[in-house]
Amino acid sequence: MSSSKSDRGSETRELILVTAERLFAEYGVEAVSNRQVSEAAGQSNNFAVGYHFGSKDDLVVAIVRRHAESIERRRTDMLAEITGSPDLHDWVSCLVRPMTDYLASLGSPTWYARFIAQVTTHPSFRELVVNETVSTRSLQQTIEGMFRLVPRLPEEVRQERSNMSRWMIVHMCAERERALHAGTAMPRSTWESTAAGLVDALVGVWLAPVSARR
């Protein structure tokens, strides 16, 4: 394959990824077909998504991976700065800020937070995306560091609060992204202050007492 043809293929792949992310964020993954993505990306071949990515599952994973490296790098750098920290805020920051800092770096509009909110609430894509994002080395190190500082919790409570943490991060980021796009006011004026509020709230979630069972 010539370099020019390879470059055109890479440009087409990138265009499809950007277009699919926006459409999935706006309308939901189920509502948008691969053909509609191809058409919106200006591809004369209606099967361009299948040609470049395969199934819709493969396309969703490719969108996640397009952003994952930058988020992972930010979290790895943060972890290097807080090694051995006894402050739960530091570890929860490593959970939150790689995402919020990354979204802030993209400018506006962005679509990724709303895309993640759509796919993680979809029954068939949720597990696919959660497995893709939770399995990273930096996130596992962050979770291990947090759990060294969190009071011992019953397993079902720990799982419940893990889910709460994920939902809060995903949906608060999606709401801010949506508000920025619409030009509407938010309680927090920057991604930095949004992150600070999320970190405080999540520390509270993890340190909250567990009510005795009746």
Among the residues of the chain, which ranges form H helices? Answer: 3-27, 34-40, 48-52, 56-81, 88-105, 112-120, 126-134, 137-147, 155-182, 191-207
Instruction: Measure the CA–CA gap between 100 and 169, rounded to whole angstroms.
Output: 9
DSSP-based three-state secondary structure for 152: coil
- Domain extent for 31: 1-54
Q: What is the mean pLDDT of residues 61-66?
A: 95
User: Do 14 and 96 have their domain in common?
Assistant: no
- Residue 190, helix vs strand vs coil: coil
Give residue-wise pLDDT tens across range 16-25: 999 999 999 9
> Are 74 and 169 within one domain?
yes
Whether the predicted pLDDT of 117 surpasses 90: yes
152 plus 46 within the same structural domain? no
Residue 61 domain-assigned (yes or no): no
Would residue 139 count as lying in a domain?
A: yes
| CATH code of the domain containing 21 | 1.10.10
Both 39 and 89 in a single domain? no
In a domain, 168, yes or no: yes
Q: Are 100 and 191 within 8 A, CB to CB? A: yes
Helix, strand, coil percentages, rounded to 5, for the chain: 70, 0, 30
Last residue of a domain, one of 29, 54, 79: 54
Question: Do both 112 and 198 map to the same domain?
Answer: yes
Whether 60 is in a domain gets the answer: no
* Within-domain flag for 21: yes
The reported pLDDT for the residue numbered 124 is 86
**Count of the separate structural domains present in the chain:** 2
- pLDDT tens digits, 34-56: 999 999 998 887 788 988 999 99
